[in-house]
Structure 1
């Protein structure tokens, strides 16, 4: 009997020791006592910034995605480059993220209210939720307790999913972050607030393949409208295209656009051509409530990736302590 009990305890101990620390570290009530005003401060900062600049929601949501995809959600995207190191924010895919000042502003206010308490990583996660909600999307409880990273390398941005990826490449990229096929299609819906420069989709508009000048999966009239926005000559630095027709509102229009052949990125439109993802696109295009519900779940899943339990809470968003 004693040996049986010993075996049971050994099994329980073994199970507990293999649970990832990050799964136990985060808590929706993490700052309830140490900084009860944290989420209110962040929300007010984000709301004011959004009123001043309508592009803030898309940029903050992209900031969260890009930060979490590189080294986990550790705010490494906020660190400045130095003489000896080019940081993530200066990597090619992050040039259009911008709006770092919003996180800096929130962090400055938090340092006055609760010094050295709220991590930059948590500020980004909460701000991402807030811009979705303020834009008409779902609300979810953000799990908190992340610590900030101290390493940021521009060359690691090559690990971000590219707008030219096919479905298998997308699935592989998201799976490496512990995310499912449904998570991938759901989080792609964040493009409902997105904008892209011409360079990310112009390969679909001319000399696409040996047999097609324009990507055949693209609605022809839509392709012509994109060509007008992205002419080969006299192109403005900020020329580009919103990623759905209601880009200031968080809704399911992104999926409706894909059904109509109007996905801007190749990685958007391919979701309709693969049986592993087509049914999810169709579901979300016809059921916005289902999309909202799954988006909240997937954002929590992404926010759990690579969480650091120990480490520093940066005082300044741009520099390590």
Structure 2
């Protein structure tokens, strides 16, 4: 067989392997969800060293766990680098330990992605993904096609989903705020009042106020969201609609808010931000992805994935390149901006009216 034919045959075989891998990509996330639900990382962590499969099984809240099923799930998660496996020095049986990845699955850890894994892999958020082709053919909103209402109305009417969503957002907020506070220390200098627009239950603004006690924090979100928010020192909770008006402050803070909305809606939000801050020294602090479609950075691929999450879960939301950010900022009344890299999935976009 000619060398060219062998090359083509090998390329086609690799292509087939890729499709098999992507076809069953959901299995990785389901195995990850299973590990969180069973508390596998927490069980291993409680021992303080790698442990046997029987020890994992006996520590579960189950009278008769299926060890064969568990071993097959762990085999895949070891292959994916979520856990590590090494032979017992005497018996040779595998001992399972934590990796830097599985440490993010610890449910009681200060920083954990476990609630986000549970939320994103729940049947409600998964259902809209089956509507992507309909969105291409017909337009419209995937979440509404799957559930009969947009995500925010669905959350308002469904307390279980509302709690699931808020817990997922709160865990990512803790991770992001740590990155913000380490890399944006000077950004809060001179800010006496700060409104966290779409602040959920107040996780982020509370941490900002703790680190910068001179700031009065305002957590601003929809009434049904702030209704479940606990009280924090130095933080007020205000219910309202950011499309109507935003409480006045020296600075407006928005983490993972703008990507939920279309360009037109973002411009409306920015214009309301513009009205809420002082002409001089006022600013908007946006924490969001700056998309790098051809980038090789640690989170650049995840940025493209999140862009499709916006298609599945929002009403016109999108991740944006710097060019796209510049356009909506200018239309919203912010003539200057700068992008500040932080050790996180998102960046800080600091925008000023003059």
* TM-score when normalising by structure 1: 0.29
Q: Which has the higher contact order (CA 8 A, sep 6+)?
A: 1
Higher strand share: 2
* TM-score when normalising by structure 2: 0.27
